[in-house]
Amino acid sequence: MQASGETVSAPDQIDKDASAALLRWYDAHARRLPWRRLPGEARQEPYRVWLSEIMLQQTTVAAVGPYYAKFLGLWPTVEALAAADDGDVMAAWAGLGYYARARNLLACARAVAEAGAFPDSEAGLRALPGVGDYTAAAVAAIAFGQRAVVVDANVERVVARLFAIETPLPAARPQIRAATDRITPEDRAGDFAQAMMDLGATVCTVKAPRCLLCPLRSVCAAQAQGEPERLPAKAAKKAKPARKGRAFWIERDGQVLLVRRPGKGMLGGMRALPDDGWAARGDGAGAPPLEADWRSAGAVRHGFTHFDLELQLMLCLGGDWASLPVGEWWPIEDIEAAGLPTVFAKAARLALAER
């Protein structure tokens, strides 16, 4: 075994036989997913592969399923999505999180519609808005059948164990990609990528991997060491900073005031309750949107990627309506249809409970 940080040299037995064994397993055990074509079926169209891959970034398969179906029902082609209203798309995305993905989704759809089709090369796909290395490789392999090295979190785990890569993540990623490149076949690269994802999701799991069922068990270095669950190693996480903010519930005649957040920045383009500018300030000391009598209704908490937020909810008991911020009055009984991002949806539910 080589020391941590050195280039990993695969055991001699990990060669093309490993990819062949994995593909045989996939032919028998492939998961049927809404965006997937099974082995032997015609390739899935690029729009559906791309849409699913964008949605699946840092999101579970179970969470993505309903959103994927909703988007295809509303916008069945990339041209339809490109022509969609920004607000409608952001509202349809609400609750899926990481809202920059929705903005990039629209930008990419419009670029593809203008070009007339998705690029069929990994490099061409990578040049599209919001398409990074992983997504470009996945679409190239799955939709266009090109050999591409596709590495997501599941693949990272499988390969780190297969080659017993000791370097902690994220520093190990170049080693993991090189090892994945070694075993990626020239043919059926899309099936191979999906097989690796399925293996990580169902067999080579984070905890209690089902090694007895694994088609790569005989050539897995971590299994040979007797402790596959130890890998991949991860660097210690830093504690996330805490922020505070306030959201304001302004109600009249059975309606609540919603505002549209700026197009760029946190939760950009989404409908939301007015707030105190916590995305920029983070100290909960920003001014309310109008002179009024306010009552605290408690707080909600929400974790973002880089910080945790405690959002104090303030209820308006009457004030100077002439100084209201620009927004739209939304029927309270239909608040679930407003497409509020999760943190503001939590605040709205608290307001309804406290009214």
Tell me the pLDDT of the chain (355 aa) as tens digits: 333 443 444 445 566 688 999 999 999 999 999 999 999 899 999 999 999 999 999 889 999 999 999 999 999 999 999 999 998 998 899 888 888 899 999 999 999 999 999 999 999 999 999 999 999 999 999 999 999 999 999 999 999 999 999 999 999 999 999 999 999 999 999 999 999 999 999 999 999 999 999 999 999 999 999 989 999 999 888 888 999 999 999 998 899 999 998 877 888 888 999 999 888 777 777 788 888 889 899 999 999 888 999 999 999 877 667 778 888 999 999 998 888 989 999 999 999 988 7
Burial of 228 (C-beta count, 10 Å sphere; 0-12/13-18/19+) = buried
Whether the domain at 16-230 and the domain at 242-354 fall into the same CATH topology: no
Q: What is the DSSP code (8-state) at residue 322?
A: G
How far does Cα 121 stand from its chain's mean position? 23
Told to judge if 53 belongs to the known catalytic residues of this protein, a careful annotator would answer: yes
Q: How many Cβ atoms are within 10 Å of 14's Cβ, its own excluded? A: 18
Predicted pLDDT at 283: 78
Catalytic residue among 41, 45, 53, 186: 53
Superfamily for 242-354?
A: Nucleoside Triphosphate Pyrophosphohydrolase (3.90.79.10)
Q: State the Cα–Cα distance between residues 162 and 150, nearest whole angstrom.
A: 16
DSSP per-residue letters across 223-262: HHHT-GGG-S-BPPPPPPPEEEEEEEE-EETTEEEEEEPP
Distance, in Å, from the CA atom of 335 to the CA atom of 315, rounded to the nearest integer, reads 16
Instruction: Report the distance separating Cα 34 and Cα 83, nearest Å.
Output: 24
| DSSP single-letter state for residue 348 | H
Closest CA to 276 of 315, 248, 304: 248
pLDDT at residue 164 in the model:
95
Q: What's CA 144's distance to the chain center, in Å?
A: 22
Instruction: Confirm whether pTM is higher than 0.75.
Output: yes
Per-domain residue ranges of the chain: 16-230, 242-354
Check residue 10 and give its pLDDT.
46
How far, in Å, CA of 309 to CA of 311, rounded? 6
CATH class of the domain whose range is 16-230: mainly alpha
